[in-house]
Structures are given as structure tokens and as C-alpha cells.
């Protein structure tokens, strides 16, 4: 078991070295990624400055801006960056063959690469994110109890792996089709709309929220943010963590299933 762990630690270190080459690319991406935040600030400022703009869904102007600040932070921490294209390229270019002859689990290998990428991406982008938080510091409201931090971090970790396993499963489609960009774009559109990047999920009608809480997208971004902001308490919080845990297991199992089915197809056609 120690030897197996050593292998994946080595993969993680290789991922750090490879990803660090693109540090300026990541920095510029994060820097220009703040531009949409400016549009968001202007939009919600205009909404709340209307004569009847007294807030809705329990949000005022300050808490809404704070929510979008947290979406930037959480997105940088958990969202895979080009993992789907890299995996698809491995399959399409035949690089996957080298993993079939090694005692190395491909999902474990890609997990190491993903974690290394997130670490480098976060380290490179933390400065512009910290600056934007400092600029809007009057709107920042940190939790007052340790339990909220622990639950938020636990949910954040699960959100990261749910996103990664979904990305991995989508990339497995490259075993059957040459170009996966359309499928990735469709799923990303659902994630963007239903995951809380466009607006907080809990400003939606109650009936819509009830449906969204059973979908994985709800737990990819919005859920850990809602915990951190104290918008989920008691039974609702416990239920959410239970559902998120279930989605973590389901997405992991589906990723394994897609690998086995894809690999069977690959070998059947002489890959």
C-alpha cells in the first residue's frame, strides 16, 4: 500500500512541475476573470438602487456582492482546468496505451494531476483574489463559529471531487466520439446556470429549489458557499451534506463505469 501511495505522490509532484509552467497563463486568466465581477457589481447595484429594490431572497446589496466574491474564490479552488481536454487527448492520440501496461490506475493518476493543478492555480491566483476581497472588505462577513468553517471545507472538498469526476466521465466520451466539446459545453451550461455562478440558487422559487437540491450541480459551487454564509442551518444543512455525499459516491462510481466501458470499446476496435 505504501508503494501505491508513493506512486501517486510522484504523479502529484510531476503534476506540480508541469502545471507550474503555465503559471502566468493562470495568473492572467484569473486577472481577466475578474472583469465579469465588475459587470455583476454594476448590475446588482442598479437593481438594489431601484425605488423598490429592497432586496429579495434574504440578500441585500452587500451580501449579494459577498456571494459573488465567494463564487470566484470557490471556483478557483475546485473547478477543473482543461482536465477534460487533456484526458480526451490521451485517448484520441493513443497515449492511453502507456497506462494499460503500467500498475497505475488512470483515475488515480488524473486525480493526482487535478490536485496538483488546483494547488498551483490557487497559489498563482490568490493575490488578485485577495486584492478584490480587500477592495470589497466592507461586505465580507466571516463565520463566527469553527463548525461552519469545518463543514464548509468538507463540502468544498466534496464539491471539488464531484466536479472532477463529472469532468472525467465526460472526457471518457472520447472513446466513442472524436470531439467532445459540444457535450462539455452543454454540461458546463447546466453547471453555470444551476450551480449558482449566474445568481444564488436560493433566490429561485421554492418549487424550483426543491428540484435543484436533488441535482449534482447544486453541490458543485452554491452549497459550500451557502454553508459558509450561514444560509443553511439545521436539518436542511444535514440533508444537503447527505445528498452531496451520495453524489460524490455516484459520480465516482460513474467515472469508474465509463472508464471500464470505454476501455472495453477501445480494445474491441483495436486501440
- Specify which residues 59 forms β-bridges with: 56
- Specify which residues 56 forms β-bridges with: 59
Span 174-223, pLDDT tens digits: 989 888 888 988 998 888 888 988 889 988 888 989 999 999 999 999 99
Residue 55 has what pLDDT?
Answer: 64
Residue 39 has what pLDDT?
Answer: 76
Q: Kindly state the average pLDDT of the residues 127-150.
A: 90
Q: Which three cell numbers stand for residue 20?
A: 507550474
Q: Which three cell numbers stand for residue 119?
A: 494547488
Query: Is-contact 251 163, C-beta < 8 A?
Result: no
CA distance 130 to 106: 35
More confident residue, 59 or 42: 59
Could you list the residue range(s) of the whole structural domain that residue 86 is in?
2-268
Residue 211 has what pLDDT?
Answer: 92
If one counts the domains in the chain, the total is: 1
CA distances from 88 to 81, 83, 169, 175 (A): 13, 9, 10, 8
Cell 454564509 -> residue: 229
CA distance 169 to 252: 9
For the full predicted model, state whether its pTM sits above 0.95. no
Amino acid at each position: 500500500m505504501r508503494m501505491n501511495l508513493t506512486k501517486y505522490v510522484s504523479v502529484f509532484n510531476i503534476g506540480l512541475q508541469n502545471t507550474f509552467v503555465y503559471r502566468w497563463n493562470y495568473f492572467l486568466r484569473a486577472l481577466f476573470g475578474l472583469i465579469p465581477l465588475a459587470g455583476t457589481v454594476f448590475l446588482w447595484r442598479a437593481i438594489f438602487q431601484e425605488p423598490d429594490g429592497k432586496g429579495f431572497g434574504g440578500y441585500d446589496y452587500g451580501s449579494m456582492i459577498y456571494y459573488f466574491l465567494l463564487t470566484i474564490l470557490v471556483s478557483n479552488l475546485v473547478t477543473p482546468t482543461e482536465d477534460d481536454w487533456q484526458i480526451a487527448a490521451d485517448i484520441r492520440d493513443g497515449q492511453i496505451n502507456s497506462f494499460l501496461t503500467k500498475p497505475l490506475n488512470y483515475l488515480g493518476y488524473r486525480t493526482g494531476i487535478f490536485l496538483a493543478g488546483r494547488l498551483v492555480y490557487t497559489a498563482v491566483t490568490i493575490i488578485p483574489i485577495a486584492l478584490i476581497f480587500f477592495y470589497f472588505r466592507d461586505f465580507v462577513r466571516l463565520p463566527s463559529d469553527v463548525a461552519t468553517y469545518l463543514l464548509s471545507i468538507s463540502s468544498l472538498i466534496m464539491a471539488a471531487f464531484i466536479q472532477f469526476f463529472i469532468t472525467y466521465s465526460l472526457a471518457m466520451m472520447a472513446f466513442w466520439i472524436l470531439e467532445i466539446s459540444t457535450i462539455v459545453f452543454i454540461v458546463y451550461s447546466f453547471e453555470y446556470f444551476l450551480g449558482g455562478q449566474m445568481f444564488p440558487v436560493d433566490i429561485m422559487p421554492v418549487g424550483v429549489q426543491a428540484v435543484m437540491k436533488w441535482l449534482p450541480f447544486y453541490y458543485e459551487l452554491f452549497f459550500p458557499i451557502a454553508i459558509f454564509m450561514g444560509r443553511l442551518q439545521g436539518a436542511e444543512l444535514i440533508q444537503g451534506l447527505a445528498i452531496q455525499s451520495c453524489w460524490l459516491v455516484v459520480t465516482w462510481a460513474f467515472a469508474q463505469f465509463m472508464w471500464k466501458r470505454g476501455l472495453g470499446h477501445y480494445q474491441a476496435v483495436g486501440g
